[in-house]
Amino acid sequence: MPQITYVHPNGTREVLDVPVGTSVMRGAILNSVDGIVAECGGEMMCATCHVYVEENQLGRTPTQSDDEKAMLEFTASERRPNSRLSCQLVVTPELDGLVVYLPETQV
Amino acid sequence: MAAATVAIVGTGQAGFQAAASLRQDGFAGRIVLIGDEPVSPYQRPPLSKSYLAGESGLDELWLRPETFYAKQEIDVLAGDTVTAIDRTVRRLRLASGSELRWDHLVLATGARFRPLAVPGAELDGVLPLRTLGDADILRERLGQAREVVVVGAGFIGLEFASVAIARGAAVHIVEVTRHPMGRVVSAPISRFFTEAHIGWGARISLGTGVARILGANGRVTGVETTDGQRLPADLVLICIGVIPNAELVSGAGLAVENGIVVDEYLVTEDPAILAIGDCANFPTPFALGRVRLESVQNAVDQGRCVAAHITGHPAPYDKVPWFWSDQGDLKLQIAGITTGHDASVLRGNPESGHFSVFCYRSGRLIGVESVSQTADHVVARRLLAGDPGLTPEQAADESYDLRAHARRLGTR
């Protein structure tokens, strides 16, 4: 099963097995990872599952839809070039080893 | 003195959020979350969307895993019902026979489906959609249903209709008003979605009520409308709105008027009792007077608001309301409350399938309804958080940069 690493703002790392087909957001929720809120449950309505993807892994992530780009303007923490909504990062075998950094705040 | 106890009645999105936010805000006392459904807190929106369609499962519904509640020391009493509130001794009585003492009581009792009072409503195959249990039954019945009648063209009815069509059923929607979703959206949006459903193959009877439901051997066979149509059906969904669950507080002598009456802090007349989510009737700067809103946003933000209140950081509730609905391949997103607008302008062309309706009252922007146009929705949420200062002419002009306008206002 692919492993996803969630890095908290204080540097703590949580490494989780997330099944293929499950989003990085849902993987965090199912394991109660602090720092992913996911108010809307993955509907791209809230931008509270914001993560920063490890820069050199960006190329492995699925492309951003226009809706995701628009909603990323609503993040509580600063939007950066590697900002993603983790509900849109559906885990595939290629995403094994993905590292995402959690922002200071989601709301 | 023993640590304080917060009792939260209702395990929906609002109750869950109040509990989670209390811990996040450092509340160290006891938290008890009580709900009459015998399952862990879950999200309702997918019940009429992806879950109903079979595109998502239970794993996607749970708000948190079971282990979360143990770790956060939140006692969940799922499957028990509060039967009475005794304010004088601050106790709840439960159907199980036990009692619970509280220092703060948060009512997140939600709403229940409004039954249709016509002959035949008790027939097998006449179903509501409100709970996970309802959705499980419908999900299974939709597998065999060939002719579906949907009574009520609100969000839930239309979402259900689009799933039923996609699953191969013939669908007839019966709506007593002339405007589907008319309670919450403007005329252009109502029209657009009506046409969309017709385009997907649904039949729609507007301005028509249900006279009775027809059956044979205890099973539904059709619906007779008030204008005399007889619509064959092997499945009838009743979705004509909800009734807020407020009986508990009227029994306790607190005000009820279209929900549990609270002030701008979401507090009832009893300072130790608060109400949030679908059951709460509250004053808002986003409408004239009071509202009761049924939405995830409202449940979540009000849950946070009461948690802050109880942990010593009270602030009036003032979050911009937002809503969404998925129907077929269309996404409707609403920012603000557009009910009561006296003017509206279109931004974009409905024929393109991507457009927004900007709604005004007395010259001020009060809400924006967007169809598959998330960029407008996001800007609208920003604008409505302050004084939007956006004229109808600017809103209608697609070359006018809304993002730049929002940036100048400096709101998030």
Domains along chain A?
3-101 (3.10.20.30)
Number of CB atoms found within 10 A of residue B256's CB = 18
Task: Using a CB–CB cutoff of 8 Å, tell me whether B326 touches chain A.
Answer: yes
Q: Do B65 and A70 touch (CB under 8 A)?
A: no
Residue labelled with tokens 């609270």: B262
Alpha carbon of A59: minimum distance to chain B alpha carbons (Å): 25
The answer to whether the predicted template modeling score (pTM) of the entire model surpasses 0.95 is yes
CB B147 within 8 Å of CB B233: yes
- Window B:70-99, CB contacts with A under 8 Å: 71
Taking CA–CA distances from B59, the nearest residue in chain A reads A30
Sheet holding B355-361, edge to edge: B322-327, B330-336, B364-371, B355-361, B343-347
Interface mutation target, options B23, B25, B60, B72, chain A, most CBs of A under 10 Å? B60
Calculate the alpha carbon distances from B78 to B32, B41, B126, B250 in Å.
10, 9, 27, 23
pLDDT of residue B1: 46
Question: What kind and span of H or E run contains B173?
Answer: strand B170-175
What number is the average pLDDT over the span B152-176?
97
Asked if residue B298 has pLDDT above 90, the reply is yes
Alpha carbon of B253: minimum distance to chain A alpha carbons (Å): 34
Residue A85, phi then psi, degrees to nearest 5: -90, 120
Alpha carbon of A71: minimum distance to chain B alpha carbons (Å): 6
CB B269 within 8 Å of CB B309: no
Chain mean position to CA B96: 29
Residue B73, phi then psi, degrees to nearest 5: 55, 50
pLDDT of residue B3: 82
Task: Using a CB–CB cutoff of 8 Å, tell me whether A77 touches chain B.
Answer: no
Q: What is the pLDDT of residues B115-143, one digit of tens each?
A: 999 999 999 999 999 999 999 999 999 99
Strands B91-94 and B330-336: unpaired
Q: Do A32 and B333 touch (CB under 8 A)?
A: no
Strands (E), chain A: 3-7, 13-17, 50-53, 83-85, 98-101
Residues on chain B touching A32 (C-beta within 8 angstroms): 64-65, 67-68, 71
Q: What is the pLDDT of residues B144-162, one digit of tens each?
A: 999 999 999 999 999 999 9
What number is the average pLDDT over the span B372-386?
96
pLDDT of residue B411: 53
Which of A32, A39, A67 shows the shortest C-beta gap to B68? A32
Asked if residue B238 has pLDDT above 80, the reply is yes
Count of all residues that appear for chain A in the document: 107
pLDDT < 50 regions, chain A? none
Spell B82-116 as b/e; 16+ CB within 10 A means b.
beebeeeebbbebeeeeebebbbbbbbbbbebeeb
Q: What is the pLDDT of residues B57-106, one digit of tens each?
A: 998 999 999 999 999 999 999 999 999 999 999 999 999 999 999 999 99
What number is the average pLDDT over the span B340-355?
97
Percent of chain B with pLDDT over 70: 99
Q: What is the pLDDT of residues B182-219, one digit of tens each?
A: 999 999 999 999 999 999 999 999 999 999 999 999 99
- Window A:7-66, CB contacts with B under 8 Å: 22, 26, 29-32, 39-46, 66
pLDDT of residue B206: 98
Strands B280-283 and B260-261: parallel
Q: Do B322 and A45 touch (CB under 8 A)?
A: yes
Residues on chain A touching B374 (C-beta within 8 angstroms): 44, 66-67, 70-71
Asked if residue B2 has pLDDT above 70, the reply is no
Percent of chain B with pLDDT over 90: 97
Residues whose CB is less than 8 angstroms from the CB of residue B284 and which lie 6 or more positions away in sequence, other chains included: B290, B291, B317, B318, B321, B337
Q: What angle do CA B300, A41, B264 make, to 5 degrees?
A: 10
What number is the average pLDDT over the span B245-260?
95
The token pair at B179 is 């405007």
Taking CA–CA distances from A44, the nearest residue in chain B reads B374
Alpha carbon of B3: minimum distance to chain A alpha carbons (Å): 25
List the domains of chain B with CATH numbers: 5-112+243-310 (3.50.50.60), 126-240 (3.50.50.60), 329-409 (3.30.390.30)
DSSP string, B265-294: TSB-SSTTEEE-GGGEEEE-TTSSSEE---
Ranges of H-type helices in B145-285: 155-166, 187-199, 247-251
Distance CA A50, CA A36 (A): 7
Residue labelled with tokens 């009252």: B361
Taking CA–CA distances from B412, the nearest residue in chain A reads A74
Spell A51-70 as b/e; 16+ CB within 10 A means b.
bbbbeeeeeebeeeeebbeb
Alpha carbon of B364: minimum distance to chain A alpha carbons (Å): 23
Taking CA–CA distances from A26, the nearest residue in chain B reads B60
Look over chain B and give the mean of its residue pLDDT values, rounded to a whole number: 96
What number is the average pLDDT over the span B269-289?
97
Q: Do A41 and B296 touch (CB under 8 A)?
A: yes
pLDDT of residue B410: 72
Distance CA B233, CA B333 (A): 32
Task: Using a CB–CB cutoff of 8 Å, tell me whether B296 touches chain A.
Answer: yes
Task: Using a CB–CB cutoff of 8 Å, tell me whether B200 touches chain A.
Answer: no
The token pair at B328 is 């077929």
Q: What is the pLDDT of residues A22-35, one digit of tens each?
A: 999 999 999 999 99
**In terms of C-beta density within 10 A (0-12 exposed, 13-18 middle, 19 or more buried), how is residue B359 classed?**
buried
